[in-house]
A and B are shown apart, each in its own frame.
Chain A
Amino acid sequence: MPEVKQEPQAPLLPGVVAVALSTAYLIALLAVEKQPLVIGLLAFGIVAVLVAHYMDWLDPVGRSFAEREGVLSAYAVLAACVVAAFFHDNHFVLLLFVTVLLYAVATLGLNIEFGYAGVLNFAGASFFGIGAYTSAVLNTYTAVPHLLVLLIGGTLAALIGSLLLLPVLRTRGHYAALVTIAFALLLKTFLEVNDVLGGPQGMQVKGMSILGWSFNDNFEIGKIEMSFYLNYFVISMLLLCGTFVLVRRLERSWIGLDLDAIRLDETAASCFGLDIARWKITAFVLGNFVIGLAGALFGMVGGFVAPNNYTFADSLIMVSILLLGGIGNPWGVVVATFIVVVLPEKLQTIQEYRFLLYALIVIVVLLFRPEGLLPRPVRRYFPGGRA
């Protein structure tokens, strides 16, 4: 076996510093309320990133994340816990944080479909909604354990998504996208006219409880009162970690390679024995499962589902997160979800115009940084170590 050149490993420090600074910044941004302060902080953040970019401080950060991903992921999880602990009694901020985490999970699912296999899915929010409605119905009418409800939510999203497989496999590119748009419109109409599912008013969703531990009650650690959203933070964080590892392993395997090959050139791929249908189905089903799983949990977090929460416009938000972050890069998805979800919440002045903002983001990204904020690097199967 030929020797692989052992490159010196990138230092850990730049990555750790970046995580620490981002955490401090995020805490500051989430804590301030006054609009001038928020705007000032945002401007400071943008300038800081641009300065770091032009001073080439971001390259060492990128290298340490590329080669020391395992350790730095642990630091990132720790940082998220620090943020959550800092806001331990703040319902609003914790709900926002949990929303970010679950949108990130859903967009990672979309990333498997769109980013790797190239199957355009403009019905992300619909599959998210299928998951949420599953928990609404099951928590109201049955005593199915709630962790199982999450799995059923994912499975139902994957199953209902399978109805689209035939048209999606028989069409390509834009036409497959149209199929999913049609599905999104159909599902919303179906939910609106269906009285069992609450019609346009939607349904209440009972909160989660596992082994008698109710997620919707505040609790105390020592003498300190904790917001009940901390419960949801913990389980959402676990879900995000699991999904992240899944997406990473998928990318760094022969299957990730198969999906890329199919996205880039179907004809060449089939000339080298790839089963196009098998991999498109795998990606679509797996992606929808992940989206449905996140949706089922989100339904319980929000306590309420309605057809208007899962529209085509919401699907576009997921797609814009993917475009902004960098298609195919899970780190990009996480960073972009923070930007897209937190920004309109903090900038109350633009809340009415949030869809305008998303449209603007997509246009600006496509014009100036078509590969997203964090472009996907070339695949390394075992980064850091050999090869």
Chain B
Amino acid sequence: MTYLLEARGLTRKFGGVVALDNLDLTVVPNEIIGLIGPNGSGKTTFFNVVTGIYGAHGGSVTFDGADITRASSRAVYHAGVSRTFQRSRLSLPLSIFDNIMIGNHKRLNQGLWFNLVRRGEFKREFEVNYAAARTLIEVFEPRLAERMFEPVAGLPMIDRRRIEICRALISQPKLLLLDEPSAGMTHDETKELMDDILQVRDLNRNLTIVIVEHEMGLIERITDRCVVLNFGRKIAEGPYRQVAVDRQVQEAYLGVE
């Protein structure tokens, strides 16, 4: 079986704390995987190691057949991995359009000559990408498509999440890593957001998603498979209904009697 993402024996330490402990995790194309576990179990660290923000202290990560264990964040993005952040990391003074375009970096011509001198060609490229950004954000919230050139700073949390997800999706990545998309939002808002993400996935059948989430209703509804972490180790794996009744998982969340 070919995996889209394959982590083998992945280890990452912070001083004496082992955040990822010999972790094996595989993702097949087109699946939605829920990565769950108590706070501090290594979920976000896993994202950070995969996307090259942290280096690994052991093991390997393969994406789409290429070894990305030591790849930089840049290289991982260019290989086709996009992510969102647990704490929203939008550029607040910039407009909605600008924020989405940051995620589109690899599809924009970055040449100095092109940008400064060939303004006619630049305008054509701008218009194509403006249309693409509008089409994408209309899936999430048509209201935002009318406000493309307003700063993000004035928008509520749910709109910022939508923009962050658009920023991750605009370059049509193969793998999307969602780090707690529901953080700071109400139950209803979260449901709405996930419906929108699933709608995008229906449009782009090649999209594979790994989602870190504490909202179990959401995990149950959208994931094909769950991986449960505790202290950086994988303690269970399988469909949500199966891992939810797993004794080890319950102990990890609720403690041992």
Residues of A within 8 A of B (CB): 1-2, 4-5, 246, 249-250, 253-255, 257-258, 260-261, 264-265, 267-275, 282, 378-382, 386-387
Q: Decide: A267 and B89 in contact? CB cutoff 8 A.
A: yes
Q: Which residues of B contact A250 (CB under 8 A)?
A: 115-116
Q: Decide: B167 and A378 in contact? CB cutoff 8 A.
A: no
10 smallest beta-carbon distances between A and B, as pairs: A253-B115, A273-B77, A270-B73, A264-B91, A268-B89, A273-B105, A1-B131, A254-B108, A378-B95, A255-B115
A380 and B98 alpha carbons, distance in the complex (Å)? 10
Given contacts A273-B78, A379-B95, contact A255 B72 (CB under 8 A): no
* Closest CB in chain B relative to A280 CB, distance in Å: 14
B53 to A, closest residue via Cβ = A267
Against A, the Cβ 8 Å flags (1 = close, 0 = not) of B222-235 are: 00000000000000
Q: Decide: B102 and A257 in contact? CB cutoff 8 A.
A: yes
Comparing B16-24, B146-154, B199-207, the segment that makes contact with chain A is: B146-154
Q: Decide: B123 and A271 in contact? CB cutoff 8 A.
A: no
Q: Which residues of B contact A270 (CB under 8 A)?
A: 72-74
Q: Which residues of A contact B72 (CB under 8 A)?
A: 270
> A254-B110, A268-B102 given. 13 additional CB < 8 A pairs?
A1-B131, A250-B115, A260-B98, A267-B53, A271-B77, A272-B102, A272-B105, A272-B171, A273-B78, A274-B74, A382-B126, A387-B130, A387-B149
Between-chain CB contacts (< 8 Å), 14 pairs: A4-B130, A253-B122, A254-B122, A255-B110, A257-B98, A260-B91, A261-B102, A267-B89, A273-B77, A273-B105, A378-B93, A378-B98, A378-B149, A387-B127
A282 and B123 alpha carbons, distance in the complex (Å)? 22
A380 and B77 alpha carbons, distance in the complex (Å)? 27
Q: Which residues of B contact A249 (CB under 8 A)?
A: 115-116, 119
A387 to B, closest residue via Cβ = B130
Residues of chain B at interface, number, CB under 8 A? 46
A48 and B72 alpha carbons, distance in the complex (Å)? 55
* Closest CB in chain B relative to A117 CB, distance in Å: 14
Q: Which residues of B contact A258 (CB under 8 A)?
A: 105, 110
Q: Which residues of A contact B150 (CB under 8 A)?
A: 378
* Closest CB in chain B relative to A328 CB, distance in Å: 9
Q: Decide: A272 and B149 in contact? CB cutoff 8 A.
A: no
Q: Decide: B126 and A381 in contact? CB cutoff 8 A.
A: yes
Q: Which residues of A contact B149 (CB under 8 A)?
A: 378-380, 387
* Closest CB in chain B relative to A262 CB, distance in Å: 10
B128 to A, closest residue via Cβ = A1
Given contacts A260-B91, A378-B94, A378-B150, contact A2 B135 (CB under 8 A): yes
Given contacts A257-B98, A257-B101, contact A264 B93 (CB under 8 A): yes
Q: Which residues of A contact B108 (CB under 8 A)?
A: 254
A255 and B116 alpha carbons, distance in the complex (Å)? 9
* Closest CB in chain A relative to B171 CB, distance in Å: 8
A270 and B149 alpha carbons, distance in the complex (Å)? 24
Name, among B82, B109, B115, B146, the residue most crowded by chain A CB atoms within 10 Å (CB to CB): B115
* Closest CB in chain A relative to B62 CB, distance in Å: 19
Given contacts A265-B89, A379-B98, A381-B126, contact A273 B115 (CB under 8 A): no
A271 and B106 alpha carbons, distance in the complex (Å)? 11
Q: Which residues of B contact A268 (CB under 8 A)?
A: 85, 89, 91, 102
A246 and B109 alpha carbons, distance in the complex (Å)? 18
Q: Tell yes or no: B174 within 8 A of A by CB.
A: no
Given contacts A246-B116, A249-B119, A265-B89, contact A2 B131 (CB under 8 A): yes
Q: Which residues of A contact B82 (CB under 8 A)?
A: 272
* Closest CB in chain B relative to A369 CB, distance in Å: 16
Q: Which residues of B contact A387 (CB under 8 A)?
A: 126-127, 130, 148-149
Q: Tell yes or no: B42 within 8 A of A by CB.
A: no
Q: Tell yes or no: B44 within 8 A of A by CB.
A: no
Q: Decide: B91 and A275 in contact? CB cutoff 8 A.
A: no
Given contacts A246-B116, A249-B119, contact A378 B73 (CB under 8 A): no
